[in-house]
């Protein structure tokens, strides 16, 4: 099973039996067997008929649509999910259990802080020339762990996560060439090449988390660390927190090994955008890098679902003689 990226103007999709046919002007149509597709990423103007969309959903192929210029997610299509409603009932009950949420949140953020520490320790070995900012970031993040272990409120955990993120990004700025103008995290829109890659990578990881949660029978909207917010998949936000430093490290590698350079980006009304060639490089590298993280998300979602099963209320059996 694989991922299909569609990132060209005026592409059209149609269904031909068990194949998805891709058509574009001045080119021969290409067919992709539906059975080979696990996810489809569309960017920009892609035209498709309802039959193709229905076929993708029916076989469980997820689709994410990104805006043409800013690579923001505009829509997600996910097919049939897990049928055990008890998991969601238990998840809803969990949202009112402050003690359980606090325990899960502390574990989650501890994993994120540890991942940040590993990244910066590795960076120290590779970049002794910028040892001071990396050392300062490490000292700050390490000092947060004992406080996190004793945190008695979710608000405290949230504050510690924010402090760790600030120290982490401040240290990361020393790793990138000054010509990239990376001075810390910014978004909506990203204003430099590094943040353009971080934003796109986080968007794709978030999509994977939504997909994994839905497949495990969980409600992606209802998290335990991130509070519910209109239109936000808070559980997906929770799930990718420990993975963010790993994506940060991969983005550093993209620039360190010069797979991406400043000329792969364009400026547009204050935003920094990946140009077409840069997106192709990014997507190819992402697909080679992300499989272990997809497996992690599936595993963690099923672990959470199985734990919730132990807290779930019993359901009445369905009436087989119903309408």
Question: Domain segments of the chain: what residues?
Answer: 2-77, 85-309
- Judged by average pLDDT, the poorest of 15-29, 157-171, 230-244 is 15-29
Beta-bridge mates of residue 32: 20
pLDDT-above-90 percentage for the chain: 55
Average pLDDT, the chain: 87
Is residue 3 predicted with pLDDT exceeding 90?
no
Q: How far apart are CA 90 and CA 101, in angstroms?
A: 13
Q: Return the CA Rg of the chain.
A: 21
Is residue 118 predicted with pLDDT exceeding 80?
yes
Q: In which band, very low, low, confident or very high, does the pLDDT at 323 lie, cut at 50, 70 and 90? A: very low
- Collapsing DSSP to helix, strand or coil, 224 comes out as coil
In the prediction, which pLDDT does 39 show?
Answer: 83
Q: In which band, very low, low, confident or very high, does the pLDDT at 318 lie, cut at 50, 70 and 90? A: very low
pLDDT tens digit string along 191-219? 999 999 999 999 999 999 999 999 899 99
Pick the CATH number of 2-77 from 1.10.1660.10, 3.100.10.20, 3.10.450.50, 3.40.50.300: 3.100.10.20
Give CA separation, 122 vs 2, 94, 119, 252, in Å: 31, 37, 5, 12
- Ranges of beta strands (E only) in the chain are 2-6, 11-16, 19-23, 30-33, 37-43, 46-48, 62-66, 73-77, 265-268, 271-274
Contact, 148 vs 109, CB < 8 A? yes
As assigned by CATH, the class of the 85-309 domain is: mainly alpha
Q: In which band, very low, low, confident or very high, does the pLDDT at 293 lie, cut at 50, 70 and 90? A: very high
């Amino acid at each position: 099973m694989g991922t299909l990226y569609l990132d060209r103007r005026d592409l059209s999709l149609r269904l031909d039996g068990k194949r998805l046919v891709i058509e574009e002007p001045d080119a021969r149509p290409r067919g992709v067997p539906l059975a080979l597709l696990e996810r489809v990423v569309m960017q920009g103007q892609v035209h498709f008929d309802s039959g193709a969309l229905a076929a993708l959903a029916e076989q469980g192929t997820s689709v994410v649509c990104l805006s043409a210029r800013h690579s923001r997610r505009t829509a997600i299509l996910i097919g049939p999910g897990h049928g055990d409603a008890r998991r969601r009932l238990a998840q809803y009950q969990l949202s009112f259990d402050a003690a359980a949420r606090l325990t899960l949140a502390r574990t989650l953020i501890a994993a994120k802080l540890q991942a940040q520490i590993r990244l910066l320790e590795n960076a120290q070995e590779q970049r002794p020339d910028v040892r001071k900012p990396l050392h300062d970031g490490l000292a700050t993040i390490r000092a947060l762990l004992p406080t996190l272990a004793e945190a008695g409120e979710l608000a405290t955990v949230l504050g510690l996560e924010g402090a760790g993120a600030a120290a982490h990004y401040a240290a990361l700025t020393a790793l990138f060439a000054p010509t990239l103008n990376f001075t810390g995290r910014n978004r909506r829109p990203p204003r430099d090449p590094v943040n353009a890659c971080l934003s796109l990578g986080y968007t794709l990881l978030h999509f994977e988390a939504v997909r994994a949660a839905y497949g495990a029978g969980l409600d992606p909207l209802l998290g335990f660390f991130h509070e519910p917010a209109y239109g936000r998949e808070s559980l997906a936000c929770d799930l990718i927190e420990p993975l963010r430093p790993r994506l940060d490290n991969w983005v550093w590698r993209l620039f360190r090994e010069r797979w991406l350079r400043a000329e792969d980006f364009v400026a547009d009304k204050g935003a920094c955008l990946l140009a077409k060639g840069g997106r192709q490089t990014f997507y190819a590298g992402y697909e080679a890098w992300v499989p272990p993280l997809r497996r992690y998300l599936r595993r963690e979602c099923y672990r959470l679902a199985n734990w919730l099963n132990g807290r779930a209320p019993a359901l009445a059996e369905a009436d087989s003689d119903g309408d």
